[in-house]
Chain A
Amino acid sequence: MSQIELKNLRKEFGSLVAVNNLNLTIEDGEFIVFVGPSGCGKTTTLRMIAGFEDPTSGDITIDGKVVNELEPRDRDLGMVFQSHALFPHKNVADNIAFGLRMKKVKQDEQARKVKEVSELVRITHLLGKMPGQCSGGESQRIALARTLVTEPSNFLLDEPLSSLDAKLRRELRAECDRLHDELQKTFIYVTHDQEEAMTLADRIVVMNQGKIVQMGSPLEIYGDPVSYFVADFFGNPAMNLVEGEFVSGDSGLQFKSPQFTIPLPSKYSQKQPGKGTLGIRPENVTIGATDAAASINREVELVEPLGKDTLLYFETGAERPFVAVIEGTQSVERHANVDVGFPDDAIFLFDETGARIR
């Protein structure tokens, strides 16, 4: 049982507040992912948990014990770094055995554990090589093995896959998932990649400007974003966000953008008029015959077949083109005029400050 608690955690670098009064409990065995744009404080938080940075104020407790005073090596943690940080002058086996040697584990025990863990991450064939001879993906596996072998209760992973190419990243992402399932240890994972967060996390912590913006399961974050920032950050292709105004119309509240006006679902009829943003996920947009209350007739600017799905691009006067995803390779021609529907339950509204209007 290992529970990590962050209480009023704060970190300042000079006048810059990197982490602003963070409160969070990480349960035993949880796979938690800190995600956010660069500079949001996620790495700083991780490094404070590791003990490489000292909090300006606030506590970090592991198993109910305050560990602020403990050196990194005494915190029962393992960490995988963005750069892998393998020791270039030691071969792979020595790299993996390093932590055991520091903990004065017996020689034969060391050998046994190194073998065991290298089988677990499938790098047995690399043990005799030097890190310089290994590819990026292999290095990442070695770094994982080096951390796993010391059997810490908690794993800290600092953007471990960001230096790899897309295919390898997907492969190692699955590997991380598998390891977490097998080990049932706490994983704290930092990334700026929303897709990694979505696929790996039990719980996602979205951070921005040193604060937690929202946390919850991937589906909660995706399906029920609390703000414009979260809505915009998750999802690929990203949510369509059109700026405009909420105005009172004949049948309740309407959304009015420079290019079109649509009625809003009746549940918003009591809301105040004013400036704001309308959001809808591309996969929720309907094309053609629709029973959605709100629809507009638009010309298709661009058709992008992806195989399984097809992306349709429309011009709506927003910064980004308006995107719709339709299944299969339906026969929608470029420059055709189609009806674009906004189903009631797919519409998100955000006010001027970016907060969600519910």
Chain B
Amino acid sequence: MSTTDASGIPASASPGNKRQVTREQGIRRFKWTVLTPLILLMAFLLLPAFLLQGYFSFFAFSIFDAGDSSGFSSYFKASEWVGLDLWKDAFSDTKFFNAILRSLLFSAGTTVCCFVLGFGLALLMYRPFRGQGFYYVFFILPMLTVPIVIAYTGEMILYQNGPLNDILSRITGQRVMFQFLYAKEVALTTIMFLETWNWTPFSFIIMMAGLASLPKEPQEAAQILGASKLRIFWEVQVPLLRPVILLALILRFLEAMAEFPKTWGLLQGGPGSATETIPIYIFLNAWQYFDISYGAVLSYIVMFLMIFIIMGAIWLLRREKKNLDDMYQAPNQEG
């Protein structure tokens, strides 16, 4: 064994690092080849929009002001400095405030409904049984249906002479002519039902994946130790499923905050302002009343609100993912 190295080259200068260096360079080059187009696209698409949004939130502008010329520069000529006026308006706008509350209610409500239904169905279905595949195919159909189609089909079913009133009439024995869509009190609930119909499959699929991946041993161990089904559910299954449950809830909630096609396609925020959720209210201001500037202010506020919510969600998801990584770390990983 020759341990003496007469050349006297210090270890750090050994050529062993060269390949590593070129490899690291390769990875870096790869990284930037992939990321550059993405960053450029965002800089080209989203950044200007973001800045324009900022400009118009301080310079009042409406499409009407632009006059006949539809050029880009005319937008700037026609706008007028109003400082924080619009922001003040927005913060004292009770309709906007109500829209936010309505959106939160809508999202929270549908998220819980979707989750409870989806998890319930998944619990009934995750173990193989005759007809499992058959039910599964049907149960994912709503998610595959285009939302605007759901809106119009919903209208056909829910209108006064529609089949739903007919079925209710047959059950109760008297002519039911319920205004599912045009009664102020229930319009939002109706939309929530449609949203729940549409997206229960999403929670269902995620929870199916979660339940299918649960290791059997802990459940069996609990069973042997004398735990009841309910106890196993709460003390073994639910804790193990927590990351998946969180994912199902968070993704659904955030997607529901952006729901637009069904609400708009059916009711355009009406009757009155019963279904004016955040997206609808912004849409009305910017695209129906053509008040771009006020829409921009509302958008900014909503954007910050959403980013705030998303950060919270990300924090939660990351914590769960870390727990999961710790739990599944390879036991004999060599240092």
Contacts and interface: CB of A to CB of B under 8 A. Distances in A.
> Are A and B in direct contact (Cβ within 8 Å)?
yes
Interface of A: 5, 7-8, 10, 13, 16, 18, 23-25, 38-44, 54-60, 66, 68-71, 192
A13 B335 CA distance: 7
Given A38-B334, A39-B332, 16 more contacts: A5-B2, A13-B335, A18-B334, A24-B1, A25-B2, A38-B332, A40-B334, A41-B334, A43-B334, A55-B14, A57-B12, A57-B14, A58-B11, A68-B16, A69-B15, A69-B18
A58 B332 CA distance: 26
A250 to B, nearest CB: 46
Contacts of A7: 2-3, 5
Contacts of A42: 334
Interface in B1-48: 1-3, 5, 11-12, 14-20, 23
Contacts of B334: 18, 38-44
Contacts of B17: 54, 57
Given A8-B5, A23-B3, A43-B334, A57 B11 contact: yes
A69 B14 CA distance: 11
B16 A58 contact: yes
Contact of A23 (B1, B15, B18, B335): B1
Contacts of B19: 54, 68-71
A42 B18 CA distance: 24
Nearest to B19: A69
A68 B14 contact: yes
- Residue among B12, B18, B332 facing the most chain A CB atoms (10 A cut-off): B332
A43 B332 CA distance: 11
A30 to B, nearest CB: 13
Given A8-B11, A57-B11, A58-B11, A68 B5 contact: no
A16 B335 contact: yes
A19 to B, nearest CB: 9
Contact of A59 (B3, B14, B335): B14
Interface of B: 1-3, 5, 11-12, 14-20, 23, 332, 334-335
Closest 8 A-B residue pairs measured CB to CB? Answer: A57-B11, A68-B16, A54-B20, A38-B332, A18-B335, A43-B334, A55-B16, A23-B3
A82 to B, nearest CB: 9
Contacts of A8: 5, 11
A24 B11 CA distance: 16
A5 B4 CA distance: 13
A94 B335 CA distance: 34
A66 B15 contact: yes
B165 to A, nearest CB: 55
A70 B1 CA distance: 23
Nearest to B16: A68
Contacts of B11: 8, 10, 57-58
A8 B23 CA distance: 22
Contacts of B15: 59, 66, 68-69
A134 to B, nearest CB: 24
Contacts of A69: 15, 18-19
A12 to B, nearest CB: 10
Nearest to A51: B19
B28 to A, nearest CB: 16
Contacts of B1: 23-25
7 contacts: A39-B334, A44-B335, A54-B23, A58-B14, A68-B15, A70-B19, A71-B19
A57 B16 contact: yes
Contacts of B2: 5, 7, 25
B258 to A, nearest CB: 39
A71 B5 CA distance: 25
A68 B1 CA distance: 19
Given A8-B11, A10-B11, A25-B1, A68 B18 contact: yes
Nearest to A68: B16
B290 to A, nearest CB: 57
Nearest to B331: A38
A7 B3 CA distance: 7
A57 B12 CA distance: 6
Contacts of B20: 54
Nearest to A47: B334
